[in-house]
Amino acid sequence: MKRAIIVGLCLAFMATVAFAGPPNPSSRRATEIMFPIQDDGYRLMFEGFEGTFPPAGWTLAQTNTNETWGIETYDPFEGLQYASCQYDASYSGPQDEWLYFDYTIEAGDDCLSFYAFASTYWAVDPYQNYNILVTINDQTVWDYYNDNNGAVTWQWQQYSIDLSGYDVGETITVGFGYQGYDGAQGALDAVEIGECPPPPPEPCCPSDYVCLVHDFNTTSCGWSEVACGLGPVPWEWGVPTGIPTVACDDVAVTNVLGTALAGDYTAQTGEGAVIGPYDITQNCWCLELCHYYDIESGYDGGNVKVSTDGGATWTLVQPFGGYDDILDSTTYVAECVGGEEVFTGYSGTFVRDCFDLSAYMNESVLIGFFFGCDSSVVYPGWYLKWVKLGSDEITPVKDTSWGGIKAMYR
């Protein structure tokens, strides 16, 4: 299918808006709220780690004398408890810690599903010091490093393993392992065997049809400020330093709209960067954001909001897959985004997030990128490479120059 592209015009818009020792991404232990995900209703076998540990029928195989799998009660995925393995802070030796259970396959046992979280900072990038694994009959069928599906540090995420290759009546041994040295916390909850859970909604981007491309590589697009914090303005456009040089789709990074182009953002500051207005139509409702962030986890962050009244009020819009966390601290309150869902922590690379704006069909919206931090601990910040609007609809192409089209993909 060919992709039809219409050049979007950037409109400067000045707007005002009325707003009625923390941990960080390298922390070794989860201390933030995990987003709850509702029971999928497909359970035949289920273990939520709510009773004694290890659960009846499960076996703990401990090799490290200091740290192994046990019970944790802070912010379970559901219920009151979950299985957790902390890293051995005494560095007495490597960890190779396992939980095992046997299970006889029944009709309808299509998937092994579970929720897990770990630290992408320590498990994936940049250190890769530890891993969470799943084995069936001592064969690795999943591991966090290779199969985390873009997970974010300390966020519960569901994973499923296909059991269709096993016969009804066959007994399998399932193992959940923690392996590494000088790693970080790993956690497990809501283990079930049964029908496969329904797949999550597919993100609406990349779109087949792109109606607007706002590439910060080539222009600042006349973004405007929305004052909502106490400190200096955090947003600026230009050449960044110290961040990845390749963005989504392997596009080189030359300029970005970011919270600090060199060094870290300033403590106790917050502001919104606004672009638009844009008309949301049946051909132009899926918002695509290519961005990178390295932000103090759980205390500072950024989110995306839209306004239909010229910036007088703003409404948070959700990305497919959700934000990373809620800034719920009452001691260290972030400017502008305190108490709200945000991107926070460390994305590792430039990532693509998609937002469904179809609720604003046939309306004109401003799009705001709101960032805020508290009074202590600063990090590099939040960097935007491009914003696109599109859909899966195909409509006639608006006249434009070939040079204009090529400029969108520099």
CATH number at residue 119: 2.60.120.200
Is the same domain home to 52 and 148? yes
Q: Supply 126's token pair.
A: 């940049």
Q: How confident is the model at residue 279 (pLDDT cuts 50, 70, 90)?
A: very high
Q: 308 vs 45, which has greater pLDDT?
A: 308
Is the same domain home to 190 and 215? no
Is the same domain home to 257 and 403? yes
Please name the residues in contact with 112: beta carbons below 8 A apart, sequence gap of 6 or more: 134, 136, 160, 161, 163, 174, 191, 192, 193
Q: How confident is the model at residue 44 (pLDDT cuts 50, 70, 90)?
A: low
Q: What is the mean pLDDT of residues 129-143?
A: 98
> Given a cut of 70, is residue 328 above it in pLDDT?
yes
Is residue 155 included in any domain, yes or no? yes
Count of CB atoms situated within 10 Å of the CB of 194 = 20
Of the ranges 57-71, 215-229, 253-267, 382-396, which one carries the lowest mean pLDDT score?
A: 382-396
Instruction: Specify the pLDDT at position 84.
Output: 98
Q: 238 vs 330, which has greater pLDDT?
A: 238
Average pLDDT, the chain: 85
Is residue 4 included in any domain, yes or no? no
**Structurally, how many domains does the chain consist of?**
2
Instruction: Specify the pLDDT at position 408.
Output: 46
Is the same domain home to 135 and 219? no
The pLDDT tens digits of the residues spanning 384-397 come to 999 999 998 654 43
> Given a cut of 60, is residue 137 above it in pLDDT?
yes
Is residue 254 included in any domain, yes or no? yes
Q: What is the mean pLDDT of residues 238-255?
A: 95
Of the ranges 9-23, 45-59, 364-378, which one carries the lowest mean pLDDT score?
A: 9-23
What is the percent of the chain where pLDDT is above 70?
85
Q: What is the mean pLDDT of residues 183-199?
A: 92
Q: What is the mean pLDDT of residues 112-134?
A: 92
Boundary residue ending a domain (140, 165, 194):
194
Boundary residue ending a domain (163, 194, 225):
194
36-50, 84-98, 230-244, 265-279: range with highest mean pLDDT: 84-98
Q: What is the mean pLDDT of residues 152-156?
A: 81
Question: Does the pTM exceed 0.85?
Answer: no
Of the ranges 161-170, 198-207, 236-245, 291-300, which one carries the lowest mean pLDDT score?
A: 198-207
Is the same domain home to 229 and 342? yes
Instruction: Specify the pLDDT at position 287.
Output: 97
Instruction: Spell 149-165 as b/e; 16+ CB within 10 A means b.
Output: eebbbbbbbbbbbebee
> Given a cut of 70, is residue 64 above it in pLDDT?
yes
Is the same domain home to 120 and 251? no
* Domain of residue 178, residue span: 43-194
Of the ranges 86-95, 162-171, 201-210, 323-332, which one carries the lowest mean pLDDT score?
A: 323-332
> Given a cut of 70, is residue 14 above it in pLDDT?
no
Is the same domain home to 158 and 248? no
Instruction: Specify the pLDDT at position 394.
Output: 55
Q: What is the mean pLDDT of residues 153-169?
A: 92
Instruction: Specify the pLDDT at position 113.
Output: 95
Instruction: Specify the pLDDT at position 17.
Output: 35
Measured CA distances, 4 to 207, 215, 401 (Å): 10, 17, 13
Q: Supply 241's token pair.
A: 């330093």
Is the same domain home to 278 and 326? yes
> Given a cut of 80, is residue 260 above it in pLDDT?
yes
Q: 52 vs 228, which has greater pLDDT?
A: 52
Task: Give the 3-state DSSP-derived string for the chain, with helices as H, strands as E and coil as C.
Answer: CCCCECCCCCCCCCCCCCCCCCCCCCCCCCCCCCCCCCCCCCEEEEECCCCCCCCCCEEEECCCCCCCEEEECCCCCCCCCEEEECCCCCCCCCEEEEEEEEEECCCCCCEEEEEEECCHHHHCCCCCCEEEEEEECCEEEEEHHHHCCCCCCCCCEEEEEECCCCCCCCEEEEEEEEEECCCCCEEEEEEEEECCCCCCCCCCCCCCEEEEEEECCCCCCCCEEEECCCCCCCCEEECCCCCCCECHHHCECCCEEECCCCCCCCCCCEEEEEEEEEECECCECEEEEEEEEEECCCCCEEEEEEECCCCCCCEECCECCCCCEECCCCCCCCCCCCCCEEECEECCCCEEEEEECHHHCCCEEEEEEEEECCCCCCCCEEEEEEEEEEECCCCCCCCCCHHHHHHCCC
β-pairing, 171-180 vs 95-104, is antiparallel
Is residue 358 included in any domain, yes or no? yes
